[in-house]
Amino acid sequence: MSTRRRVQKQPAYVLIRRPFSESSLIVDAVTRDYGRIALLAKGARRLKSPYRGLLQGFLPLSIGWSGRRDLVTLTRAEAAAHAPRLSGRALLFGCYANELLVRFLQRGDPHEDLFDAYERLIEALGRESDGEWSLRLFEIALLRDIGYGLLLEREAVGQQSVEAGRRYLYVPDRGPLEEGASGFNGVPVHGETLLALRDGVYPDALWRREARQLTRTVLGSLLEGRELKSRLVYRQMFGAKTDIGDS
């Protein structure tokens, strides 16, 4: 039997929520120290609920709860900062990030670094007209935290350092190989792309396109054909041949 726990003042963001009864909600949230958790927010749907207006996406929260690991009861929630005003592409980028967290994070596993990366992404989307590169860095952080980190510094064979000015074939389950490596399916990339992802430095447009194709391919293999709702909405809004992160 899991131990009953009481937690106070934990940084958190709401990922998704759904009605539980006429008056309550089940909230899926990501927290800094406890990872992804499921919360029962009793009375949150009532007009006079203290949680009204707080349990929304992208709003930095400080929350408390009590209960066991599988489903805990929300005991407090307050805004830790103002919610960024996300709209258009930025809003869909945020929804896409939320879906990735729900798909790939197991409940109860802490991911402090990934929480910080998510927070940086939401802050960036709130102040940037183009959040595409911030989204790429979040994807890199996600892959690293769930055990599928990209090899960005060295070649997969020979372990030679990746160099700017050289071209590579990035094979998702191996890493970067020399351009022209036979017998492998991968994503053609320049060394500049891999080094920009490693260093978090905003690159030229060509490297950004390559980075988008690289993370899309790797995440696509992990999703195993499962579609994300945010991608479907993105195509409906911006064209059937577009995808999250397309300019």
What pLDDT digit, counting tens, does each position of 225-234 carry? 788 888 888 7
Backbone CA torsion sign across 122, 139, 102, 242: positive
- 205 with 172, same domain? yes
Structural domain contains residue 207: yes
The set of residues, in sequence order, having a beta carbon less than 8 Å from that of 218 and lying 6+ positions away, is 143, 148, 150, 172
- 153 with 228, same domain? yes
For residue 182, pLDDT over 60 is answered with yes
What pLDDT digit, counting tens, does each position of 149-167 carry?
Answer: 999 999 999 889 999 999 9
- 59 with 154, same domain? no
Structural domain contains residue 20: yes
- 219 with 149, same domain? yes
**Residue that finishes a domain, picked among 37, 56, 79:** 79
The set of residues, in sequence order, having a beta carbon less than 8 Å from that of 209 and lying 6+ positions away, is none
What does the pLDDT read at residue 24?
A: 96
- 216 with 129, same domain? yes
What does the pLDDT read at residue 1?
A: 47
Residue range(s) defining the domain that contains residue 106: 88-238
Structural domain contains residue 217: yes
- 135 with 66, same domain? no
Structural domain contains residue 157: yes
For residue 240, pLDDT over 70 is answered with no
- 69 with 152, same domain? no
241: pLDDT confidence band, cut at 50, 70 and 90?
low
- 35 with 110, same domain? no
- 67 with 96, same domain? no
What does the pLDDT read at residue 181?
A: 80
Structural domain contains residue 245: no
- 39 with 73, same domain? yes
What pLDDT digit, counting tens, does each position of 52-104 carry?
Answer: 999 999 999 999 999 977 789 999 999 999 989 898 889 999 999 999 999 99
Q: Return d(Cα 7, Cα 194) in angstroms, integer.
A: 40
Structural domain contains residue 244: no
- Amino acid identity of 210? E
**Residue that finishes a domain, picked among 36, 57, 79:** 79
How many independent structural domains does the chain possess? 2
**Residue that finishes a domain, picked among 54, 79, 104:** 79
Query: Is 172 in a helix, a strand, or coil?
Result: coil
Q: What are phi and psi of 182, to 5 degrees?
A: -90, 150
- 145 with 219, same domain? yes
What does the pLDDT read at residue 129?
A: 63
Least confident of 9-13, 211-215, 216-220, 243-247: 243-247
Structural domain contains residue 168: yes
Query: Is 40 in a helix, a strand, or coil?
Result: strand
% of the chain residues with pLDDT over 90:
75
Structural domain contains residue 46: yes
Strand order in the sheet with 167-171: 175-178, 167-171, 187-190
What does the pLDDT read at residue 130?
A: 67
Task: Please state the separation of Cα 214 from the chain's center in Å.
Answer: 16
Q: What is the CATH number of the domain that holds 122?
A: 1.20.1440.120
- 196 with 157, same domain? yes
